[in-house]
Each structure stands twice: as structure tokens, then as C-alpha cells.
Structure 1
Amino acid sequence: MNLPDLGALYSHHVRVLAQRADEALARGGFDHLVIPSGTLHYQMFDDRDYPYAVNPNFKAWLPLTKVPNSWLVYTPGKRPKVIFHQPFDYWHVVPDAPNGWWVEHFDIEIIRTPDQALALLPADAARCAILGEPQSTLGAFAPNNPEPVLAYLDWHRAVKTPYEIALMRQAQRLGVRGHRAAEAAFRAGASEFEIHMAYCSAVGQDANELPYGNIVGLNEHAAVLHYTDLGKTAPQPLRSFLIDAGASAFGYASDITRTYATTGHDEFQALIDSVDAAQQQMCAGVRAGVDYKQLHVDAHLSLMGILKDFGVLKVSPEAALATGVSAAFFPHGLGHLIGLQVHDVAGFAASDRGGRIERPQGHPYLRLTRTLEPGMVVTIEPGVYFIDMLLDEVKQCGHGDSIDWNRVDFFRPYGGVRIEDEVMCTEADADNLTRPAFAEA
């Protein structure tokens, strides 16, 4: 997408954010919305800083992810203001002067030191809703994160503007570029570390820019849900590969998972294909008015049906779900909201005034319990794994007879399977953001 197109979408995006801010401030009884970009965090007993992570509420307004000590100020009826920190600094790269499709929508003030922002912030800090972390405090401007304001903004952040969707599609294309390179490295016999480096090179982003740490698991490591150790030597024999990795586009994240088998491991490849086919059906179920909790429960039944077909389960999918056996093979949630953050906010919100929709009993790791609305983007990431500690719990709970342990022994060396796409809910059919990116790559 070229910049003029993105600029037009951004103009609409800023109007939507202003409308949301107007209502949020009215609900909270505040006159101004003040959002610090965040500050650097330094390691204890050292002068080294941790990788900087911009305040998500700041980058909702601005495509700026590397400008600590900056501020966004919005007052209803006025142009929003950006206080842009551009220090005199010969130790580090100084941010370029503000430029691009966003600048025409803001009054921009350049500061050289963080404390210069004080003279440019609203006169009365008590009249401000200040959204940020405690470390961003500057003088009287301490983040207060008022609940009525955050509840409203977080709730509506789940519905993406066309500008946000355009950037999320770009994050998909970048992520898929990395996934293609990672698969090629796996096929060539690379180690986990080498696969990770191939991914980063293809995406053009390093660990500080990627939205989360790459999960690159060969063989049994695919059974560790958040495996990030990155072995330097490829195991022998090389059987399977699971990669969960995304990319960033102006602060918006992608989150994609694929699983592969080496040539000759036909039965595990058949299991991958079955999970992939089921996952596409789950993606198609993303529709306005659908309860995401039900999608998650239905995913358990679908995956257990696959395991029964492959001889792993000896009981019905319904029995496996009722007894908790299914959770040993599919222990995480079906997915989550995604956007400015990988696990985006308000996944449990009952309304824009707050409240909480609890997870279904027995499903403690589900990250989304809301009813789907047009404009929401969710991940759909079913998986089946062979995790010894969870399978041992099945035996300890007296349900060992539900499982054919010889079949578990067969699949254990492969670790597991996970397939993940991002899907946008619309008024009609689901819009899968991930699959077209693979088709184009």
C-alpha cells in the first residue's frame, strides 16, 4: 500500500480515535487525554537499558514506536498535540524530525530534554486522564489510568479501523516472508538458532522489533508451548518443526504458527493436514454474534475427533472434553484479540463500562470470552501436543484408559502440531488475513 492510500485511511482513523476519546473523557469527568510514550528502563546496578516498548495507547494514535519521553495530548474540540522528544545525543541515533502521513493532523512541539514537556502539557494535571505506567511520571503528571476511560477505550480498541487493518495485513505479509524462509531453512537441516536468524533476516526485524520472541521448536521441542531456547545444533534425526512467529508494521502485530514434517514421516504429516483442515473450518466460524467461548469448546471437540481418528483416543470427543482429557492434548485457548498488542486488551470485558466475562470452567488459559463483532481481529490457533506432565496427570486422575499409550509413544517424538491464522470478523464471511499472504508469497 502506498503512502497516499495509507494517509487517507489514517485521517479517518484519527477522527475515530477523537470520537472515542470524547466519550471516554466525558465518562471519566476529565478535560484532557494525556498519553506518555514511555521511558527507558535500566537494568539494576548497570547503565544498560532494556529494549524499549512504546505505550500501546500512544501508538494507537501515532505510527511511532521508538520515541521515548514523548507525549500525546488530546482535548475535545482541539487538534491533538504531539510533544516529540528529539534529544541532543551523540551516543544514540536521534529520532528523525516528525514526517510522514500523520504530521498534518497534529500540532507538533519538539523538545530536547524530557522535562521540557512540562511547559507544554495541560495546566492542571488533575483534569487529565493520563494513560501509562508509573515510570512515565513527569512532575504532577502521574499516570492515573482512570477505569471509566480505559474501560471505554480498551473495549472499542477491539474493533479495528480500516487503517489498522491495512497495517495488520502488512504485518501478515512480513511475517509470512519470514515463515517461508524458516521452512526453507528447516528443510535444509538448519538448527533452531539458524532458523530463527533466517526468519529475522527475511522479515528485516530483530528481536527488539518483532512483536514477541520467536518460538522455533524442532522435534520434541514443539511440545513446549513457549519454547524460545533456540538450540545451536539440529537434532538427528530431524522429524518435525513448529514455528510461532510474527512481525510488526508501525506498531501492529502479526502472530502466525505453522507446523511441518520432514519427508517420510507421513503419519505425522497426515496429523498436521487434519489439524490444518479443522483450523480452516474454525476460522470460517468467525462471524458477528458468535460467542468466542463456544468456538473454543467446539475446537476441543473437533481436535479430539482427530485424535480419535488417529487412534490416540479410545473415548468419544464429548467424553474427553467432559473428563478433562482433552485439555491434556489441547491445553491453551483457541486464540485472542490482536492488534497493537499480540494479546490485545479487553478480551474479557463485559461492556465498555467494565465488568468481566469469565472463562468456561476447566479452560483457564482462554484469552477471549467476548461475543464477536465486525472489525474484531482474532487469532485461531488450535493445537494438539504430547506433553508428558499433562499426560501423567490424566493417569493420576484415573482416566488413563481413555488413551492408547502406544499411539502416544509414536507421536511423542514429534512434539505436537499448532496452526494459527488471524481472522477478521465481518458482517458476512470471515476474512482470513493470513492465508492470502501465504498464497502470494
Structure 2
Amino acid sequence: MTDFAPLYAAHLAELQRRTAEALARGGFDHLVVPSGTLHYQFFDDRDYPYAVNPQFKAWVPLTRNPGSWLVATPGQRPKLIYLQPFDYWHAVPQAPGGYWVEHFDVVVIRTAEEALQHLPADPARCAILGEPQSALRDHVPNNPPAVVNYLEYHRAHKTPYEVAMMREASRIGVRAHRAAERAFRAGASEFGIHLAYCQAAGQDANDLPYSNIVCLNEHAAVLHYHDRDRVPPREIRSFLIDAGAAFHGYACDITRTYARDTGSEFQALIDAVDAAQRAMCEQVRAGTDYKRIHLDAHLALAGILKEFGVIKASPEAALATGVSSAFFPHGIGHGIGLQVHDVAGFAASDAGGTIPKPEGHPYLRLTRTLEPGMAVTIEPGLYFIDMLLEEVKKNGHGDSVDWERVDAFKPFGGIRIEDDVVCTEAEPINLTREAFAEA
């Protein structure tokens, strides 16, 4: 088991260094971060699932503590204002404990309003990062751009502690993915596979970093399919699952695709995409423009489509004409860490600005040049989506496609394979493949 204590101490020191610089740029004395509050449904008294403020869980591995606050002042120990209410309706958070607590001055409060006694006296000297609903009297989140831009830009560079958190999340996710595959092979429904996944992960909808995508057959052609049929189809041909797991506030994001008949042509297509995906993961190296990985992915996937007789055009022509985008309509991936789609993917610098997406590729979520410590997903896909294929015909490129081959693959829906990869000074670290190898 990894000893998180020394990794966390170094992580905290880096957060304090970043905070001092961010506050200096914004002209503030204190960083104040609320954990967030509960949101209630309109015309009802039921609350939505609580989601912790990512700026809060960057400091402490607490994800179920609404009403708490963190205060960081350069040159001082950070303060955690920890809400532990008197409540017999709900389970009350236990007293904070673990490898991180010794680094904080912890103040326990019993009501949310008590936090005011422990927050800095002058809100005007505070950079308060959070949602408007977290406001306490004059302590209203102001989210100053100079502070937010700096912190979010550098959050792309993961500390060794954060990589360790993501590695643990990957281990949980892989364990659950293996259970989901077993359920698929046993003939379970989408809903049954989803339950098998949650059981193996030990996490449910309120714990998982995003809603599981569980697709049988043609449903794999819906990129964010969440309906989960309760009854399996009469004939099960294929299975795509995009599902993650969380550990101490950090996420993994894993996608795998399976053919029921492992000797089929669809399995061969999966194998070809898998081989191409592994090569794309090897491109996650310092100095590589992530946009280049995306465009190279289009060329590689178009080459696979041509090899399997689905398209007739060259990969270069397929990319130039948009034909490849009909089969691969999303981006090659995104940053990952505290959030599944981590922030500052387009940031030109820690002072702001944006790096544009390649023309004709509106769904790419990351355009930065990779640097050591960055963690990204690599998730190429091939899909057979009627509405996009119809656009190919409307745009005058129908003769670039063998429509009989499309019809042959359409009942399988599509393929996506996704790994989480950390850029280093040398070889990339593929957290996903590492976890599957361990399992």
C-alpha cells in the first residue's frame, strides 16, 4: 500500500507555493474556499446529490462535507473550518483524521453560520473561490480571474500525490470493468451490467465521477448513452462501457469495447483500434501538441476504416473532407484529475487567453502542449451513426464510403477505447493499462 503521507506533504507545499503566487497576482491576502452547499429541487424539499467544490478537494481529501471552508494565507498554516452539525436525520461526518490532518489548524463548527467567526475579517482582502450559493453574509465568492486562471492552469500539472490518487482510482475502475465484462459475457442487461460495475467498485451514482455509459449493440453509437435497458436484447453482439471510479476526490475514466463473438470481424476491428490507441498513448510526451495527437488519430482511424473496406478515400482525404469526423465525431480526449474533464484545457498561459481548436473539430477539449505532470485521456472511437453518415451523403462525399460495409458494422454500434495517461520527462505512464496488468 502506498504511503500517502510524504506525498501529501509535498503536494501541500506545492499548493501553498501556487497560492502565494496566485494571490500576489490578484492583489489578495487570503485564499478562501467553501466546500459547497446542498442544492434543493425546485418546488420540492429533496436535495440534489452534493458535489464538492474542486478547489476545496484540491487541498483535502474530503468529498462529503458541505458547509466547510478552507483558508490559506501565505506564511501561515492553512485552516480547515469543518462543519460537523448536530443532526439526527442524517449521518454526521466523523472527526477529520488521516495522513493530512496534521498539516492544518482544524476548527470544528456545529452550524454553517459559525464559520463566520473563523473566516478572515475583511472579505475584500480575500479571493473566495466557489459558487454564489456558498456565500456567508459578506463573504461572497468573487472568483477573481487572475487567481482562478493561475490555479487552474497549473492544476494540469499533477503532483506525485495526485498521480498516486489517480492510480488508486484506476485500480478500482479496472476491478469494476472486469466485473462488467463478466456480466456481459453471462448475458446480463445493460442495467444488470451497471449494477455489477457499481458492486465491484463499491461506488454508486453519488460516488462515481460521472454517470456510467453502458451500451449493448447499436446503443454504442450513442456517445453518452444512459438509458440502460432492463432486459437484454434477443441477440447480444457487442458491448461498450465508459465508466470511471473515484478515490479521495480524484477520478479515473476508462472505456472498453467487446465483441460477443471473439472470432468475428468486429473483434478484429476492435483489435485494430486497440493497437492504434496504444500508439496514440505513446505520443503523450513532453513537448507534443495535443492537437497533433487528435489529428493523427483521425488519420490512424481512417486508415483502419480503409483497411476494413468501410471507406474508399485515403486517410488524408477523409480528414480533409470531414468523412473521418462522421466516424470519429468527438475529441481524442481531455485533461483528467480532480474533475473528469479537468479545467484549463484551452488555456494559453497562467494569465489567461485561449488556444483555439483545429478548424472543423469543435469537440476537442484540450489544445495545450503537453508538459511533465499533465494527465490526459486518450480515447479514439469509431461509430456508425445514421445522422452523421447522412451528412456525408448530403455533403457530396457519399462515394467515399462503402455503404454495404457500413450496414454490416452498424448492428454493433461502435468502438471506443480509453486510457488515462500521465506525461513525464520520459516514457508516459499509462495508469489504465498498468491497472489492467496488475489485475
Answer yes or no: is 1:323 the counterpart of 2:321: yes
Q: State how 1:167-186 maps to structure 2 within 5 Å.
A: 167-186=165-184
Q: Which amino acid aligns with 1:20?
A: R
Contact persistence 1:160–1:377 (CA under 8 A): yes
Superposed CA deviations along residues 352-406 of structure 1, whole A, max 9, x for unmatched, are 0000001000000000000000000000000000000000011111110000000
Q: Which residue of 1 aligns with 2:394?
A: 396
Task: Give the secondary structure class of the aligned counterpart of 1:233.
Answer: coil
Answer yes or no: is 1:248 the counterpart of 2:241: no
Provide the rounded CA distance (Å) in 2 between the counterparts of 1:61 and 1:427: 25
Q: State how 1:279-318 maps to structure 2 within 5 Å.
A: 279-318=277-316
Answer yes or no: is 1:116 the counterpart of 2:78: no
Cα displacement (A) at 1:295: 0.5
Q: Which residue of 2 aligns with 1:95?
A: 93
Superposed CA deviations along residues 314-370 of structure 1, whole A, max 9, x for unmatched, are 100100100011100000000000000000000000000000001000000000000
Q: Which residue of 1 aligns with 2:123?
A: 125
Contact persistence 1:54–1:66 (CA under 8 A): yes
Task: Give the secondary structure class of the aligned counterpart of 1:434.
Answer: helix
Provide the rounded CA distance (Å) in 2 between the counterparts of 1:162 and 1:49: 36
Cα displacement (A) at 1:46: 1.1
Provide the rounded CA distance (Å) in 1 between the counterparts of 2:325 and 2:150: 34
Provide the rounded CA distance (Å) in 1 between the counterparts of 2:9 and 2:434: 27
Q: Which residue of 2 aligns with 1:23?
A: 21
Superposed CA deviations along residues 394-423 of structure 1, whole A, max 9, x for unmatched, are 111111000000000000000000000011
Q: State how 1:27-426 maps to structure 2 within 5 Å.
A: 27-263=25-261, 266-426=264-424
Superposed CA deviations along residues 95-138 of structure 1, whole A, max 9, x for unmatched, are 00011111100000011000000111001001000000011011
Structure 2 residue runs of 5 or longer lacking an equivalent are none
Q: Which moved more, 1:182-191 or 1:421-430?
A: 421-430
Cα displacement (A) at 1:264: 5.7
TM-score by length of 2: 0.99
Provide the rounded CA distance (Å) in 1 between the counterparts of 2:13 and 2:435: 29
Task: Give the secondary structure class of the aligned counterpart of 2:220.
Answer: helix
Task: Give the secondary structure class of the aligned counterpart of 2:13.
Answer: helix
Task: Give the secondary structure class of the aligned counterpart of 2:165.
Answer: helix
Provide the rounded CA distance (Å) in 1 between the counterparts of 2:429 and 2:100: 27
Superposed CA deviations along residues 19-60 of structure 1, whole A, max 9, x for unmatched, are 000000000000000000000000011111000000000000
Task: Give the secondary structure class of the aligned counterpart of 1:288.
Answer: coil
Provide the rounded CA distance (Å) in 2 between the counterparts of 1:267 and 1:277: 15
Superposed CA deviations along residues 65-84 of structure 1, whole A, max 9, x for unmatched, are 00000000011100000000
Cα displacement (A) at 1:263: 2.0
Identity %: 72
Provide the rounded CA distance (Å) in 2 between the counterparts of 1:141 and 1:290: 42
Provide the rounded CA distance (Å) in 2 between the counterparts of 1:228 and 1:102: 37
Task: Give the secondary structure class of the aligned counterpart of 1:393.
Answer: helix
Cα displacement (A) at 1:284: 0.4
Q: In the superposition, relative to structure 1, how do residues 45 and 39 fare at CA in structure 2: closer, same or farther (>3 Å)?
A: same
Provide the rounded CA distance (Å) in 2 between the counterparts of 1:379 and 1:412: 26
Q: Which amino acid aligns with 2:179?
A: A
Superposed CA deviations along residues 253-296 of structure 1, whole A, max 9, x for unmatched, are 00000000012661000000000000000000110000000110
Cα displacement (A) at 1:184: 0.2
Which of structure 1's runs of 4+ aligned residues deviate more than 4 A? none
Structure 1 residue runs of 5 or longer lacking an equivalent are none
Provide the rounded CA distance (Å) in 2 between the counterparts of 1:317 and 1:21: 46
Provide the rounded CA distance (Å) in 1 between the counterparts of 2:85 and 2:70: 17
Contact persistence 1:308–1:314 (CA under 8 A): yes
Please provide the CA RMSD for this pair: 0.6
Provide the rounded CA distance (Å) in 2 between the counterparts of 1:258 and 1:178: 12
Provide the rounded CA distance (Å) in 1 between the counterparts of 2:46 and 2:98: 31
Provide the rounded CA distance (Å) in 2 between the counterparts of 1:265 and 1:351: 49
Contact persistence 1:239–1:265 (CA under 8 A): no
Q: Which amino acid aligns with 2:270?
A: I
Q: In the superposition, relative to structure 1, how do residues 123 and 264 fare at CA in structure 2: closer, same or farther (>3 Å)?
A: closer
Q: Which residue of 2 aligns with 1:440?
A: 438
Provide the rounded CA distance (Å) in 2 between the counterparts of 1:233 and 1:98: 44
Provide the rounded CA distance (Å) in 2 between the counterparts of 1:287 and 1:78: 37
Provide the rounded CA distance (Å) in 1 between the counterparts of 2:362 and 2:263: 34
What is the total number of aligned residue pairs between the two structures? 439
